[in-house]
Every structure is written in structure tokens, then in C-alpha cells.
Amino acid sequence: MSINFAATDVRTCEACWRSPVTAARHTVRGRDLLCRACAESGCPRRVDLFPPYGIYRLHRPANRTVSPIRGDER
């Protein structure tokens, strides 16, 4: 079975972030791109465990009209 990659798809396993993608697991939310070992063991995607802005306790900028760099007169 071959996987059709889109231009925005990752090429590294979404569970271990080390091995190349060799399997696709179809879920309700879409598909998970995994290596063979992670797909066979049923590992969850780390993207689900650590959502954006949650890994490093980042937050969205409060005011996007203000430049984050001092001296930037945009």
C-alpha cells in the first residue's frame, strides 16, 4: 500500500518524531501518518497529546496590531 502525500503532509512519524512515515491510520479526525512500529503498537499522535500553544505554555499575542519588535515601525 502506498501513501499519497499532500504538499503539507509531514514525512516524519507523528507519534515518535524519529522514523519516516510508512503507514497511514484513518481516524474520525482524518489520518495519522506513522512509522510501522508506532502503527502496529497503536501509539497516539503526539500532536494530540501536546496541542499547539500547549507544549511550551505559549499563548496567542494579546494585540496583533502592536509590533512585537521594538523599533519596528510597521
Beta-carbon contacts of residue 54 (< 8 Å; ≥ 6 apart)? none
Confidence of residue 41 (pLDDT cuts 50, 70, 90): very high
- Report the percentage of the chain scoring pLDDT > 70: 61
| Confidence (pLDDT) at 22 | 93
Strand blocks (E) in the chain: 23-27, 30-34
Q: Are 21 and 12 in contact (CB under 8 A)?
A: yes
Neighbours of 21 (CB within 10 A): 20
The pLDDT, as a whole number, for residue 45 is 85
- The average pLDDT across 23-47 equals 88
